[in-house]
Amino acid sequence: MENLTKEKINTYQVAKSRIKRAVEQLDLPINVYERLKAPDRVIEAAIPVEMDDGKIKIFTGYRSQHNNTLGPYKGGIRFHPEVDADEVKALSIWMTFKCAVARVPFGGGKGAVACNPRQMSKKEMERLSRQYMRAMAPILGPEKDIPAPDVNTNAQVMAWMADEYSKIQQYNDFGVITGKPLDMGGCVGRETATARGVLYAVREAARVKGISLKDATFAVQGYGNVGYFAARFLAEQGGKLIAATDSSGGAYNQGGMNPELLLKHKNETGSVKNFPGSDEIDTEGLYALDCDIIVPAALENQITAKVAQKIRARIIGEGANGPTTPEADEILKEKDVLVVPDILANSGGVIVSYFEWVQNNYRYYWSEDEIERRLERKMVEAFNHIYEYKCNNCKDTVTMREAAFMYALQRLAEAMKVRGWWG
């Protein structure tokens, strides 16, 4: 099974602990931690939706706006049955730090609805999407808070929401949301942006570790949008996909698997398991494989201390948000595993969202080649900033994650100070 977590780990407490650790490492005043440990505001709303049978069902919707020191709040909206307020708060914190690391002029936000999209029709999804926007519209806007797709949401959901917001405003204001269809001002390359960013980050990590992607073996946990495209892009560089898992099972073949054929198999059967020529594997077994690279692309808190003890990979490129617990980080550090943290590795999505926002503002659109060149440049710069910061300022005393949080925190603290928010 995809989800390894046996007991609920509070991601909000994890996020706060990472901020506090960075504040202590930088010897900043406690006021900086106090200002960043909680979101500026969290909205919880009852979302009434008429279901196909005519009954009204009330869903719980959230929007967390963590910090807008560097620009408007920015962050996706996920639809998931197990989402709660603390998870949304944590994700908004990670977005603040992700934007600071990527050096895009946004703060951090996140939204969610507690629902199970697999049990809903397309019409029910549309009504839910529009009702969520009606509830949250007063706090959203192209200069205030800009949502995007996340787990179980996509360009179609964003189109419904952008259309509903435009109806409320009484004019087309598509810049309120990124990740839209191209016909509504979307950006070419947005669907693959997060995974392409993972590729660039992993490629740079392989370079500093002396690993050739042409000869590398890799495994992917979570074979959705990010997991599939990451696998495809790594395979295009010559890497060999030896294992993949999803929520129903896994497939393993030491000789390698074709990422596109594996996706076709999943689309036809509902899972990657039982892929022709493969052996069955679970996620715990995937993490124990002797391979060069692992890409976690599922949910939070998958790499626990127990899992970390079995990891033999040399690089972990976090396509998911918050997949590694603090205890696991310490173990991976001792094992000299280079973890490219989520706030760096999967920032390709928000970088291209920034490009989309800029294009919406200017009503001028770039080609896909131009988008990919700009994304690659931003990702390489971000990786090098963090790696050089780690090597020049911290030596071997901190992990890449700690260096990323420290780098971002310095930017945030300086900006908050000149704005008069502390000090």
**117/110 Cα distance (integer angstroms):** 18
* Among 190, 74, 199, CA closest to 140: 74
pLDDT (0 to 100) of residue 6: 43
pLDDT digits (tens, 9 = 90+) for 54-112: 999 999 999 999 999 999 999 999 999 999 999 999 999 999 999 999 999 999 999 99
Written in H, E and C, the secondary structure of 114-145 is ECCHHHCCHHHHHHHHHHHHHHHHHHCECCCE
Give yes or no for a contact between 259 and 278, defined as CB atoms under 8 angstroms apart: no
pLDDT (0 to 100) of residue 1: 42
What pTM was computed for the model? 0.93
pLDDT digits (tens, 9 = 90+) for 172-220: 999 999 999 999 999 999 999 999 999 999 999 999 999 999 989 999 9
pLDDT (0 to 100) of residue 394: 67
Tell me: pLDDT of 258 over 50. Answer: yes
Tell me: pLDDT of 7 over 70. Answer: no
DSSP, res 411 = H
pLDDT (0 to 100) of residue 34: 95
Tell me: pLDDT of 119 over 90. Answer: yes
* Among 134, 128, 135, 137, CA closest to 156: 128
CATH topology for 192-345? Rossmann fold (3.40.50)
* Residues β-bridged to residue 48: 58
Does 38-177 match 192-345 in CATH topology? Answer: yes
The count of other CB atoms within 10 Å of the CB of residue 30 is 11
* Among 344, 339, 345, 346, CA closest to 325: 339
| Residues taking part in catalysis | 110
Mention every residue, 6+ apart, whose C-beta is less than 8 A from residue 31. Answer: 422, 423
Give yes or no for a contact between 319 and 296, defined as CB atoms under 8 angstroms apart: yes
Mention every residue, 6+ apart, whose C-beta is less than 8 A from residue 25. Answer: 398, 402, 406
pLDDT-above-90 percentage for the chain: 93
pLDDT (0 to 100) of residue 422: 78
Query: Angle at the Cα of 217 (from 212 to 221), degrees rounded to 5?
Result: 125
**31/49 Cα distance (integer angstroms):** 42
Say how many residues make up the chain.
Answer: 423
According to the CATH classification, is domain 38-177 in 3.40.50.720? no
pLDDT digits (tens, 9 = 90+) for 313-359: 999 999 999 999 999 999 999 999 999 999 999 999 999 999 999 99
Q: Which residue has the tokens 């976090």?
A: 318
* Among 290, 217, 280, CA closest to 251: 280
Give yes or no for a contact between 188 and 367, defined as CB atoms under 8 angstroms apart: yes
Burial of 116 from C-beta contacts in 10 A (0-12 / 13-18 / 19+): exposed
* Residue type (1 letter), 377: R
* Among 153, 77, 146, 80, CA closest to 107: 146
pLDDT (0 to 100) of residue 146: 98
Tell me: pLDDT of 2 over 60. Answer: no
Domain ranges of the chain: 38-177, 192-345
Considering just the CA atoms, what is the radius of gyration of the chain in Å? 21
At 300, the pLDDT band (50, 70, 90 cuts) reads confident
Rounded to whole angstroms, what are the CA distances from 320 to 75, 174, 296? 14, 27, 6
Residues of 333-360 as b/e, b for ≥16 C-beta within 10 angstroms?
A: beeebbbbbbbbbbbbbbbbbbbbbbbb
pLDDT (0 to 100) of residue 395: 62
* Among 246, 248, 249, 229, CA closest to 237: 229
